[in-house]
Amino acid sequence: MDFSAAAAVVTGAGSGIGRSIAHEFASLGTRVLVADIDDDSAQSVAEEIRAAGGDARARAVDVTDADSVEALADEAFEAFGRVDILCNNAGVTWRPFRSVWDASLADFRWMTEVNYFGVVHGVFAFLPRMRAQAGRKQIVNTSSLATLSTSPGHAPYTASKHAVDGLSDVLREELVDHGDDFGVTVLYPGLITTNIGETSKSVRAQETGDDLSDAIAYTQVRTFDFPHNRPKGPENVGKQVVEAIRRNDPYCLTHPAPESEIAQRAKLWTRAYRGY
């Protein structure tokens, strides 16, 4: 990937992880379209990039709306002539954590619409045109280290991110099958200190009118001392993503992997086959 000649689109780039990725791309000479559901935040990040000498524009996008994401793709291809990197990063969580039995269908549907279908809409809107252009391409889909570990009280979020994992892994192999010079990276953030908790509550309230004032918080019984539960700032995530793209890595982790948890799962999966 020649970042100095590339064009990138980053959703959820108005703050946190997306902002870090957009800034890192721009520092390498990449033209960046900063997209976020909050137009003011997107415009602010684009202004920061331009003030630092980078090339950026901004657009409001609602990733749950396929037409909104299609319009984002139209603007990107019109402005840049091509898109070399797509980061489907927009996502939401929930606060407080709640048990499955204290969740609602609306909780699961809303989380899935943003975290999973937001990625699907990005793939549908950008992939055909990106495949048709020459040169190296990369899609980066944001999942979570929650899918590699145990996170009681966070079922709708974890389930939606597992769906991102499955889509990404299959898409990667399909592109390999067809000889495309096109990588797919799954970004697994651990506990990154962003405002996603508050912004998620705000967006949920705006979209559904639900302020979650009657939510029953999950009572944590066990302590899971995973390395990805130790907070880190978002400032280095962009560097990690750039390195993953350079290497065409299938996965990019912001924290050390929960190796013992992964090993235990693998042991249980292997043992589960009885051979009847």
Give residue limits of the domains in the chain.
3-271
Q: What CA–CA distances, in Å, run from 3 to 46, 127, 131, 247?
A: 18, 19, 18, 13
Beta carbons of 195 and 89 less than 8 angstroms apart: no
Beta carbons of 85 and 238 less than 8 angstroms apart: no
Banded model confidence at residue 31, pLDDT cuts 50, 70, 90: very high
| pLDDT tens for each residue of 199-217 | 776 676 666 666 666 778 8
Q: What amino acid is encoded at 27 in this protein?
A: S
The distance from CA 81 to its chain's CA centroid, rounded to whole angstroms, is 24
CA dist., res. 106 & res. 92, Å (int): 14
Here the tokens at position 170 are: 């299959």
The pLDDT score that the predictor gives to residue 227 is 75
Q: Is residue 270 predicted with pLDDT exceeding 90?
A: yes
Q: Looking at the annotation, which residues are catalytic?
A: 157
| pLDDT tens for each residue of 99-113 | 999 988 988 999 999
Instruction: Read off the pLDDT of each residue in 252-269 and give the average, rounded to a whole number.
Output: 94
pTM exceeds 0.85, yes or no: yes
| pLDDT tens for each residue of 164-188 | 999 999 999 999 999 999 999 999 9
Looking at domain 3-271, its CATH class is: alpha beta
Q: Is residue 224 predicted with pLDDT exceeding 90?
A: no
In the chain, pLDDT over 90 holds for what percent of residues? 76
